[in-house]
Amino acid sequence: MPVTRSATRSLAPAGGNNKTTAAVSLPPAVGKSSKRKAAEEPAAAKKTPRAKKTKSSDESAATPLPSGAFIPPPPSPLQNESEETISIPAVLTFSFEEAKAHLIRADHRFEDIFAKLKCKPFELLEQVHPFRALAESILAQQISWLAARSIIHRFTRLYDPSLPEKVADYSASKCPTSFFPTPYQVANTDILTLKSAGLSTRKAEYVKDLAARFADERLSTIKLLAADDESLAEMLIEVRGIGRWTVDMFAIFSLRRPNILPVGDLGIQRGMLRWFLSRHSSKHTFTISPHKLSGGEPDNDKTKVESTGAMGPPPTTPAPKTTPGSQLTGDVEADNGVLSTSSELQTQVSASINSIPGLPEPFTPSIDKTLEADAMNPEPLPEGLSVANLKSRLEGKKIKGVFLTPAEMEGLTASWAPYRSLGVYYMWALSEEKKS
């Protein structure tokens, strides 16, 4: 039987808890002690290895692979030392305490917000492998978190048939996130085999394109970490099925970039409306009818309620939305990530509140006390925005399918820079009001 060992290493110091490993089959090694023992045996015993080899062959023949079984491609020769196997270390590139202080200076209400809810992407740090995060993001596009979890498990099981047939068969002590195929293996898997795991043809093509780029090192952990925010977007949007929204989610939840503003996320826009409207007008109603939350007809698909764990843990409370993990990049976005019509944009953004992993739970209604607290030195609203039109936007009167334009979002959060990502995280928690 082949010996397996992890092919994933990290930039972090030794001892880190790396959950993103890939099993790599290695040929059985002949140690020095074995050679010495063979040399010391009597000449008559030298035929023993041949007898053992025959026995081993008989054992293998007794347990043949099922007819038509998929045999995962072997790892690349240089895979064990390849950049494609390096994880993103569980560290921040900035001071979290300094970022908190900056946001509190910009708006003192953030002090209470930080006390009420942890900023998970920047406080609960784990090593992340970029290929796995992006691949799972593609696999989870436009489906419920339960369906995504099942497909990701079936996809993974293509490369390790020893895994339980059903994801529900995992015990609490055996987490399904311990193994993931390598980019080289996925890149060398044919489309039909990938589709057998439940992938659509497009998703199979997308994940193969992503894998090929990591396998030949057009993409690597080193390159992604070294790129600035815009270069990162340019690099990833070249991948089929990845658009700007998925790039922003990856930058926040996997790379932990501090100054990301996902201007195309409808959930963030709604949260910002509540946040800034309450700063300038404490007396108003936040109630939004369900059909206005989704930007159209009520969503009757009860399965589309939670998020997947492509870039983080799924939210514990379902919400009628698509979250930062709701990668609408594949089945909705064009290959280059550009949406051609406002209705497509609305569909994507609307979905963005449902499938993102690691999104915060909605605040309870008691958050109104925090929102309505008198702000110190409140900044004026950006030109073109008023309390009246913020209210009308919150009630569902969008502009070209969105609640806030990119320029308006930039203007409203100008004082949050260079730590917009932290503020953005809490806007998701404000996008829906949790029922008491």
* Residues known to be catalytic: 265
Q: Which residues have C-beta within 8 Å of that of residue 268, sequence separation ≥ 6? A: 262, 409, 424, 427, 428, 431
The Cα–Cα gap between 386 and 363 comes to 25
Task: Answer yes or no: are the C-beta atoms of 250 and 311 closer than 8 Å.
Answer: yes
Find the Cα–Cα–Cα–Cα dihedral 308, 314, 315, 321, rounded to 10°.
Answer: -10
Beta bridge pairs of residue 24:
5
Neighbours of 313 (CB within 10 A): 17
Whole-angstrom CA distances from 139 to 146, 254, 255 are: 12, 16, 19
Q: Which of 134, 168, 170 lies closest to 337 in space, CA to CA? A: 134
The amino acid that residue 83 corresponds to is: E
**How far is the C-alpha of 140 from the C-alpha of 236, rounded, in Å?**
17
- What Å distances lie between residue 374 and 117, 274, 377, 382, CA to CA? 20, 15, 9, 19
Cβ contacts of 193 within 8 Å, gap of 6 or more: 70, 158
Distance CA 104, CA 392 (A): 28
The residue whose two tokens read 């070249």 is 238
